[in-house]
Amino acid sequence: MSKVALERDIIIEESDNNYRVRGYVSISCSEIVDVELIEGFVYLEVRGRMASQKHHVVSFTISDKKRLQTAETYKFPFSFEMHDLDIGTYKGKNVNFTYKCEAKIHIEDDDIDKIDRSFFSKVKSFVTSDDSLKVSTYFHVDDSLSTYQIEETTTSLDFKTNFLMSFIASLLTGGIYAFLIPEFNAPYMVFGVFLIIAVIISIKLLVGNALGEVTMETLRDEDAFLCTIKKTKKFSLVNQYLYYQIIEKVVDDRGTSSSTVRSTIYTSKKEKISTRNNDVQVKFSYPEIKNIHSNYLGDVSIYWVMNLKGTTYLGFILKYQCEFTVRQRRQVLMS
Amino acid sequence: MKEKFEFNPFAGVLEEDLEQIIVPVFDIDAISNQIECTDSLAIEFIGKQGRGKTTHLRYLQKQLNSYPIFLLTKTTANLSNILEHDADVVFVDSIHHLSVFERLQLFKAKRVVIYTTHWSRKYTCVLINKKYYSIPFKGITVAVLRSIIDKRLRLASNNSIHIDDVFVNNDLQLLIKKFGDSYRGILNYLYEQYQ
């Protein structure tokens, strides 16, 4: 007895900027088949240079019982809304966020063995472990109307270790070793590493205390945000610049070792700030690109950092940095 | 070329896709038989990082899914979690996160332990008279690399592409020359090319 060829496809007709998605599943078969149920599922897939993730977003029923006649093509329309989503479609350097719509076609028990399982349609389709037939497609989530919104907060900027500090620490340690250490062996090497770390921490504390605490206050300002930097009188750096960056971070925990990749996906315009005033306010605009708001999803994170750079009188560049949170606000149009 | 794929073929795979991309280095039936029929056994998947040890461990556990898998990291390495589990067969990824004493306890408590490691732990087995054997993850051939790459391309393709035409043998030889037998290195490099 020849098997029944069941051709199926899934089409997304529209994914509008109001987070409504509309499409249909089409099925045609070479013999009469009774469909018990067609279910729809939407998943967020996070694929990249790490263990990929799949998150369930929404489920819905596409069709109940239906007898499919020979050589007819049936269209089963469906629609769903995704107002509660926090993340849209995103293509990054080390990770992509994509949305997949999947239909599961459950065939009546009496007919399931008649179906030709080797059939492979033009789109991806498989037989699942529960004997249903699967067909899926990817679609774009339109975030064109969404806007960014900063979380208003006050936070301290951290003084960052730089190459110069490591160099000075290594030089000091090298000097101590050259004059005081009689031989170069494993315990002394370990001691040397600890010494370098201790010297770096000491320099950091010393310079940090000398320049005083720096804090940042963030405020919303319609389509932009305001950043107020508060310094003390001790803050004597010249050529001060303020700018923010958006970093994509991926932790690759696959296997017996772990590695982390960080890529800068956006750098704002560098704003020169006054060295005379202790408090300075800078207005920053948000980036044009959507879906790069602060986000933490397992091994993947996107975070925003504010950088304050300045130069010492000796010409050395020092950097202060702090993380801040920016949400993406979705605008749902009333219809 | 990139538009012929629904996602980057060289990204990390989803758990559900594991069986579709793996090129097993061992006979799954033979190893399953041993696990089920032996009184006391330790099987180590040994090799440098990025050679496929964890992928194979996860794949084997999916075939024998009544037994649990513990993916240990610096922060999640907790022996009591493994010992508290009823199963007498356990899969342990990155066993080096357990101390020698913890490994001894584990090998004593569980009938079969299948684990990944960079360095052989056979002396721990010798100490408690537990049978063991190692499956090395070392070496690479153009044929195996082709098979791995083709499977990934097929999984990600939108069926409008002839997979066989994407890489020629010379490309694969160059990849092997550059990265040796580090599959992770090769896949990460190809990920960047396709992203």
Instruction: Assess whether B115 and B149 both reside in one domain.
Output: no
What is the domain count for chain B?
2
The CATH number of residue A44's host domain is: 2.60.40.640
Instruction: Assess whether B29 and B91 both reside in one domain.
Output: yes
The CATH number of residue B121's host domain is: 3.40.50.300
Q: Higher pLDDT residue, A55 or A275? A: A55
Residues A117-138 have a mean pLDDT of 64
Q: How far apart are CA A7 and CA A3, in angstroms?
A: 12
Domain boundary among A104, A139, A174: A139
Instruction: Assess whether A135 and A220 both reside in one domain.
Output: no
Residue B26 lies in a domain: yes
Residues A228-249 have a mean pLDDT of 89
Q: How far apart are CA A143 and CA A291, in angstroms?
A: 8
B73 lies within 8 A of chain A by CB: yes
Helices (H) and strands (E) in chain A, counts: 3, 23
Q: How close A93 comes to chain B (CA, Å)? A: 7
User: Would you list which residues of chain A are within 8 Å, Cβ to Cβ, of chain B?
Assistant: 45, 47-54, 93-94, 96, 98, 120, 122-124, 138, 252-258
Q: How far apart are CA B120 and CA B113, in angstroms?
A: 14
Q: How close B16 comes to chain A (CA, Å)? A: 10
- Select from A99, A93, A125, A83 the least CA-distant residue to A46: A99
Instruction: Assess whether B131 and B35 both reside in one domain.
Output: yes
In this structure, the strands spanning A133-139 and A95-107 are antiparallel
Instruction: Assess whether B34 and B129 both reside in one domain.
Output: yes
Asked if the model's pLDDT at residue A183 lies above 80, the reply is no
B11 lies within 8 A of chain A by CB: yes
pLDDT-based confidence at A123, cuts 50/70/90?
very low
Q: Considering only alpha carbons, which residue of chain A is nearest residue B6?
A: A138
Residue A170 lies in a domain: no
Instruction: Assess whether B56 and B110 both reside in one domain.
Output: yes
Instruction: Write out chain A residues lying below 8 Å of B6, CB-based.
Output: 98, 124, 138
Contacts 24+ apart (CB under 8 A), A174-179: none
Instruction: Assess whether A153 and A130 both reside in one domain.
Output: no
- Average predicted confidence (pLDDT) for chain B: 90
Residue A166 lies in a domain: no
**CB distance A255–B116 less than 8 Å?**
yes
Instruction: Assess whether A102 and A220 both reside in one domain.
Output: no
B118 in Cβ contact with B47 (< 8 Å) = yes
Q: How far apart are CA A293 and CA A289, in angstroms?
A: 10
What is the domain count for chain A?
2
A209 in Cβ contact with A201 (< 8 Å) = no
Instruction: Assess whether A263 and A121 both reside in one domain.
Output: no
Instruction: Assess whether A153 and A119 both reside in one domain.
Output: no
Instruction: Assess whether A124 and A151 both reside in one domain.
Output: no
B124 lies within 8 A of chain A by CB: no
Instruction: Assess whether B118 and B25 both reside in one domain.
Output: yes
Residue B36: burial class (beta carbons within 10 Å; 0-12, 13-18, 19+): exposed
Instruction: Assess whether A130 and A233 both reside in one domain.
Output: no
Q: How far apart are CA A120 and CA A217, in angstroms?
A: 57
Q: Considering only alpha carbons, which residue of chain B is nearest residue A54?
A: B14
Q: How far apart are CA A257 and CA A334, in angstroms?
A: 50
- Select from A13, A137, A15, A12 the least CA-distant residue to A82: A15
Residues B10-23 have a mean pLDDT of 92
- Average predicted confidence (pLDDT) for chain A: 86
The CATH number of residue A315's host domain is: 2.60.40
Residue A335 lies in a domain: no
Instruction: Write out chain B residues lying below 8 Å of A256, CB-based.
Output: 49, 53-54, 93-94, 96, 116-118
Task: Please report the pLDDT score of residue A206 as a whole number.
Answer: 82
Instruction: Assess whether B160 and B119 both reside in one domain.
Output: no
**CB distance B191–A51 less than 8 Å?**
no
Instruction: Assess whether A218 and A234 both reside in one domain.
Output: yes
Residue B74 lies in a domain: yes
Q: What are phi and psi of A83, to 5 degrees?
A: -65, -30
The label of the residue with tokens 């084997």 reads B60
The label of the residue with tokens 């107002």 reads A83
Instruction: Assess whether A251 and A134 both reside in one domain.
Output: no
Domain boundary among B90, B114, B136: B136
Residue B90 lies in a domain: yes
Instruction: Assess whether B108 and B155 both reside in one domain.
Output: no
Residue B52 lies in a domain: yes
Asked if the model's pLDDT at residue A120 lies above 60, the reply is no
Residues A313-324 have a mean pLDDT of 88
- Expressed as residue numbers, the domain containing A110 is 6-139
Per-residue pLDDT reduced to its tens digit, A248-305? 999 998 877 788 999 999 999 999 988 777 788 999 999 998 889 999 998 999 999 9
Domain boundary among B100, B116, B136: B136
Instruction: Enter the ipTM.
Output: 0.84
Q: Which of B3, B4, B7, B15 to probe the A interface (max A CBs under 10 A)?
A: B7
Residue B150 lies in a domain: yes
Task: Please report the pLDDT score of residue B65 as a whole number.
Answer: 92
B163 lies within 8 A of chain A by CB: no
Residue B11 lies in a domain: no
Per-residue pLDDT reduced to its tens digit, B105-154? 999 999 999 999 999 998 888 889 999 999 999 999 999 999 999 999 99
Helix (H, G, I), strand (E, B) or coil at A176: helix
Instruction: Assess whether A101 and A153 both reside in one domain.
Output: no
B65 lies within 8 A of chain A by CB: no
B19 lies within 8 A of chain A by CB: no
Domain boundary among A113, A139, A165: A139
Global confidence as pTM? 0.83
A218 token code pair? 């963030």
- Expressed as residue numbers, the domain containing B128 is 21-136
Beta bridge partners of A281: A228
Instruction: Write out chain A residues lying below 8 Å of B8, CB-based.
Output: 47-48, 96
The residue count for chain B: 195
Instruction: Assess whether B129 and B145 both reside in one domain.
Output: no
Residue A316 lies in a domain: yes
Task: Please report the pLDDT score of residue A324 as a whole number.
Answer: 96
The DSSP 8-state label assigned to residue B66 in this structure reads: T
Residue B186 lies in a domain: yes
Instruction: Assess whether B96 and B108 both reside in one domain.
Output: yes
Tell me what percent of chain A is helix, strand and coil, each rounded to the nearest 5.
15, 50, 35
Instruction: Write out chain B residues lying below 8 Å of A47, CB-based.
Output: 7-8, 11-12, 14
**CB distance B11–A98 less than 8 Å?**
no
Instruction: Assess whether B125 and B179 both reside in one domain.
Output: no
